[in-house]
Amino acid sequence: MTTSTIATTVTQDQAVRLSDDGTAVTIIDQTLLPNQLVHLDLTERQQMFDAIKLLKVRGAPAIGVCAGYCYYVLARKAAQDATDFDSFVSTMSVERDFLNSSRPTAVNLSWALDRMHAVVTTSARLDPEDVVPLLHDECIAIHREDLEMSEEISRLGASLLHDGDGVLTHCNAGPLACLGYGTGQGPLFYAHDHGRDVHVFADETRPLLQGARLTSYELQRAGVDVTLICDDMASIVMRNGWVQACMVGCDRVAMNGDAANKIGTSGVAILAKHYGIPFYVLGPTSTIDQRAATGADIKIELRDPDEIKEMFYAEPKALPEVKCYNPSFDVTDHDLIAAIVTERGICRPPYVESLRALFA
């Protein structure tokens, strides 16, 4: 583990990467930002599980890239210990399912793990040791494709903005969460880099404060004009005419356009609809779940109630016996979404048709 106090700018290569010798996945511990920049080396399955579960690595695309690298590191060990190909497949099936159980909502996790596992199951005539280089190529490809995806989503998203626009965003879907430019905040970095003036209002995003700790940090460090607001201030900045667009990321999208994102997103969408402000969802096609017909099919993760009562406070702010409801995500109805931006294009309603066309 390496540590530096007062974090500096995060580049697209820092958030998640494979160690040079291939024995560890190196991540930035996002739970310690913005005050400390700590790199963790993940070498064991429980470390990997905990890093994803405890949000040390977070953001759907970053989780997918991390999962691919974790699978590869575990496969290196399993190949050395395997007595035959069947035992190798059996071990890796267990490892895949174990990692996949860490976060149920972000579809990129299962997508990346299934993609890596398919390399194993389609290599039945090879010695397990010979499968390892194939897995290395696959996890590198997942990361490379993610960076390409991020840039294209950011370019397309930026095309929806005008010079001088105010943009409200919720949670964190920038370089830390998505690598490259990002998705939900990617157009903001892209527009800034290409000479366009945008002003960003970043919701703090309770209860984990990713907007305050991560989004405002990334934007400020990159030189983008950003103002941090509490979640319950979104309405007043919209009413004041300071917001011309809302842009958010997503963890899973159903085939009718319903989109799951960090808790509070649907409230922002409802406000935007009331004030006539376009609400855009940005994410890679890997977050579109073809098995989910509507948002009702998306499983919502519930987290520890103490995150509401105790996290970030010197003393608890509610009585111990007070019950808490702490879902990680909510689902924004498709009829509140003006467009869904993917690396394959900008989808408009009706999403049943436009999303399906992406996979035609």
Q: Concatenated DSSP letters for 319-340?
A: -TT-----BSEEEE-GGG-SEE
The token pair that represents 334 in the structure block? 């498709």
Type of residue numbered 112: A
Which helix (H) or strand (E) element contains residue 126? none
b (16+ CB within 10 A) / e for 95-108: bbeebbebbbbbbb
Is 20 assigned a catalytic role?
no
CA distance 113 to 110: 5
Catalytic residue among 29, 203, 251, 258: 251
- For residue 116, which of 149, 93, 98 has the smallest C-alpha distance? 93
Cβ atoms of 111 and 64 closer than 8 Å: yes
The token pair that represents 46 in the structure block? 């429980």
Starting at the edge strand found earlier in the chain, the sheet holding 199-203 runs: 225-229, 199-203, 166-169, 245-248, 279-282, 339-342, 345-347
Active-site residue set: 251
